[in-house]
Structure 1
Amino acid sequence: MKWLFLIFLGLYALALALLLVGTFGLFGQERDPLAGIFLVPLGLPWNLIGDRIGLAGAWLGILAPAINAAILLWIWRR
């Protein structure tokens, strides 16, 4: 479980880095409206639940994978 948590955390950090690079055009990259697309599968099902109850927005997409990471950490520590 430790490895699954660490791999998920690494993918989350990579997806956040790609979001920052694509959103702000860092390192000479063009701005990309789909920069956060890699956060969507990492945050499922919380993205869908939040959208249905009216919490749609950028913060939901950014923080939804953190919920899954917290669940994985809880399972690992249990």
Structure 2
Amino acid sequence: MTSRRICQAVIAIYVLVWLAALSLFAIGTFGLFGQTADPLAGIFLIPVGLPWTLMLEFVGPLAPVLGLLAPVLNLILFIAFCRLWRR
């Protein structure tokens, strides 16, 4: 495989894992599909957004929103590394 295809595969897998964690969060939080509301529904978003989610304790009331968006920073880093690697 070329480096471009490897990067595309890593980014695609990361996006799929992030979407799966977001969907599990929505299903567990809002009780969709007959599930009971669960306070730990967002637990799968924590490892997807590492290391940024560990820094959220210093943010305060914005922590839940930034916790949902923390994986975006990792995605941006993946894309940047892939562009640098291609050069």
TM-score normalized by the length of structure 1: 0.88
Greater radius of gyration (CA): 2
SS in 2 for 1:44: coil
* Structure 1 runs of 4+ with >4 Å offset: none
46, 51, 67: which is aligned to 1:40? 46
- TM-align CA RMSD: 1.3
Q: Answer yes or no: is 1:50 the counterpart of 2:56.
A: yes
1:25 maps to what in 2? 31
Aligned residues: 77
5+ long unaligned stretches in structure 2:
1-6
Identity %: 43
TM-score normalized by the length of structure 2: 0.80
Give 1 or 2: higher helix fraction.
Answer: 2
Distance 2:8 2:33 in 1: 33
